[in-house]
Amino acid sequence: AGTPAAIGGDARRRPSRRGRLPGRQDWSSWPHYQAAASGFRGYWYPVAFSSHITGKPKAITLLGERIVVIRDDGKVYALKDRCPHRGVPLSYGNQQFPGTISCPYHGWTFDLETGALKAVITDGPQSPICGKVTQPTYEVEERLGMVWIFVGDGEDAPPIDDQLPEELRDNPAVVGARIQARVGNWRFACENGYDEGHAKYLHRTALWRLFKAMPVWNETRIVRRGRWIYRVQEAQHWDADFPGLGRWSNQAWYKLKPPKQVANIGNTGSHRKVNPAIAAEEFPGFASVSMPGVLRIVYPTFIHYEFYVPVDADNHLYVGVMANFEKGIRTLPFYAKYLGAVRWLFHGQFSGQDKWMVEVTDAPPERLYRPDDSLLQWRKLAEEVTEERAERLKLTGDLG
């Protein structure tokens, strides 16, 4: 798509034997992260809205794997999308019998649940190959109005609820969401989302900032809690003298008064209007990130998530989810606000700025500065968690 391929996606950009990539700092400290150009295995990923998956087979690509997704009798199934006979995508086929999918070419027909070859329409009811071929299947769940697929290495999928952010698992939430296919490697998209410096500068022109406060610069600590790392921002400044250059303020663009919230924006506890479901969690920071590439931004009355879903080394899905924990009639203002403004302002214009930055900076050279500590901590987290998984799989013999 006109952008440099991500690491591993293009022979011209392959690391040298010393693990160094042309134009990049040495990534050899994060070998798992470097190797995960097409995503980390062993996780659940959201791939589509539930309402978009019907009895008509749909082809998707996830972590470079071609998968056919189909709904049958209310349940969603996923199978490898290449017929084992002659390689035709099963997603071009259809259902000739309930609970199955038939390849369009010669009518090999697979059980949706097990992937077992149940019938071969062009070889009669007694076809001897039946029962001898099994098409690989994927575990599927539906949560938050979306279909999630587990991609692993043959191990049993952990319960999806173990992977979802705790507050989504433990509280009924109403959500507004947007799924967009985007160009660029998922890691750079995820890093761009969590990148502390960009929120302070790139997004200064986002209309969203008419409504929400953001720091210009501050002192940030990175705190790890459970499987999340947080940016804890202790103070923020809205203008200052840059010696010999002049004064710079992020108010220059829209000339609003300084927001009331001038310190400790990292903790929603500084707000009076905190939703109990959110406050109870006591998030130590405004922005946090977790595996396998999930960004969480805690606002006073809702939480915003970005799931960076690897399609392949050069493409990803941006899944933006806004969750609110109101119930009953009180959900109506949330939906009105989401559909009337937030969907366009935040999931559209604001996050669109990240989109074009990923397109132009995918696999950039890097000479890091102070605020980039958040990125290094994220890579470190990914590295540690992946190493732990590799050890675990070795012990259980699930990894070949």
Nearest residue (CB) to ligand FES, 122 versus 396: 122
Structure tokens that stand for 169 in this block? 């698992």
27, 49, 92, 105: which one binds ligand FES (CB under 6 A): 105
The DSSP line for 268-330 is GGG-SS--HHHHTT--SSSEEEETTTEEEEE-SS-EEEEEEEEEETTEEEEEEEEEE---GGG
Q: Are 83 and 190 in contact (CB under 8 A)?
A: no
83 binds ligand FES (CB under 6 A): yes
- Residues forming a β-bridge with 140: 149
5, 88, 223, 390: which one binds ligand FES (CB under 6 A): 88
169 binds ligand FES (CB under 6 A): no
Least Cα distance to 231 among 330, 377, 367 occurs for: 377
Min dist. Cβ of residue 120 to ligand FES (A):
8
The Cα–Cα gap between 348 and 345 comes to 6
Q: Are 292 and 151 in contact (CB under 8 A)?
A: no
56, 86, 330, 392: which one binds ligand FES (CB under 6 A): 86
85 binds ligand FES (CB under 6 A): yes
168 binds ligand FES (CB under 6 A): no
Min dist. Cβ of residue 54 to ligand FES (A):
22
108 binds ligand FES (CB under 6 A): yes
The torsion angles phi and psi of 391, rounded to 5 degrees, stand at -65, -45
75 binds ligand FES (CB under 6 A): no
Q: Are 99 and 73 in contact (CB under 8 A)?
A: yes
Min dist. Cβ of residue 98 to ligand FES (A):
19
37, 103, 164, 294: which one binds ligand FES (CB under 6 A): 103
Nearest residue (CB) to ligand FES, 103 versus 175: 103
Nearest residue (CB) to ligand FES, 80 versus 389: 80
Nearest residue (CB) to ligand FES, 101 versus 375: 101
Reading across the β-sheet that carries 140-143, which strands appear in turn? 43-49, 146-151, 140-143
121 binds ligand FES (CB under 6 A): no
Check residue 262 and report its DSSP letter: -
- How many chain residues bind ligand FES (CB under 6 A)? 8
- Residues near ligand FES (CB under 6 A) are 83, 85-86, 88, 103, 105-106, 108
